[in-house]
Amino acid sequence: MVEAFEQLPTIGKKSAMRMAFYIVRQDKSFGLKLCNTIEEATLTVKNCKKCGFISEHELCEICQDEHKDKAKLCIVQDVKDIFIIEQTRCFDGYYFVLDNINHEKIDELTQLIEERKTKEILFAVSPSIASDSFILFIEDKLKDFDIKFHKIAQGVPTGVSLENVDILSVAKAINGKMMV
Ligand SMILES: [Zn+2]
């Protein structure tokens, strides 16, 4: 159990041992319930067909939400970033997870843009030279569409991933978005 827990992000040997000891000392139902929860999630959670977010259904809750602004699309590089941005409540559009760039992903993205008639894309990527070239590359792929491109502004330090930035800073970065 310790070895298994150690494979989790941010969990070192000490924490892994603490968790394992805690579980074996509890009532048996505690460990079994935990097992079941993990098993159930592992078997049912998949990626949303439209945006790549995680979901128990074909389409995630966000893509199923009719009240969002269809003209706005936020591109993130990691599923986790959607959770973070949703917590800020500063963005009212839809999302697309572009974790690696390939033909298939670009096709999915252009299909989504056509379908939703996207007018504005917000790149929620932490500032770095690599993310600037990522943005330029995507902009070039979408140059035939009439879309305004923005990226999140200052508040997110260079080279730091969104999950390590506090919510307030992410909110400021979204509100202070700038043209790219
Ligand atoms: Zn979705």
Our CA dihedral for 63, 56, 6, 35, rounded to 10 degrees, sits at 160
Selection from 73, 27, 16, 28 nearest residue 50 by Cα: 73
Q: What angle do CA 52, 58, 62 make, to 5 degrees?
A: 60
Per-residue confidence in pLDDT tens, the chain, 180 aa: 999 999 999 999 999 999 999 999 999 999 999 999 999 999 999 999 999 999 999 999 999 999 999 999 999 999 999 999 999 888 999 999 998 889 999 999 999 999 999 999 999 988 788 888 899 999 999 999 999 999 887 665 666 677 777 777 777 778 777 777
Ligand 1 centroid, distance to 51 Cα (angstroms)? 4
Q: Give all domains of the chain, ordered by start, each with its CATH number.
A: 2-44 (1.10.8), 54-179 (3.40.1360.10)
Ligand 1 centroid, distance to 95 Cα (angstroms)? 7
Confidence at residue 161, expressed as pLDDT on a 0 to 100 scale: 76
Predicted structure pTM score: 0.78
Ligand 1 centroid, distance to 63 Cα (angstroms)? 4
Residues 6 or more apart whose Cβ sits within 8 Å of residue 119: 71, 72, 146, 147, 148
Ligand 1 centroid, distance to 111 Cα (angstroms)? 14
Confidence at residue 158, expressed as pLDDT on a 0 to 100 scale: 63
Cα–Cα distance for residue pair 98/137, rounded to 1 Å: 12
Cα 165 to chain centroid, rounded: 14
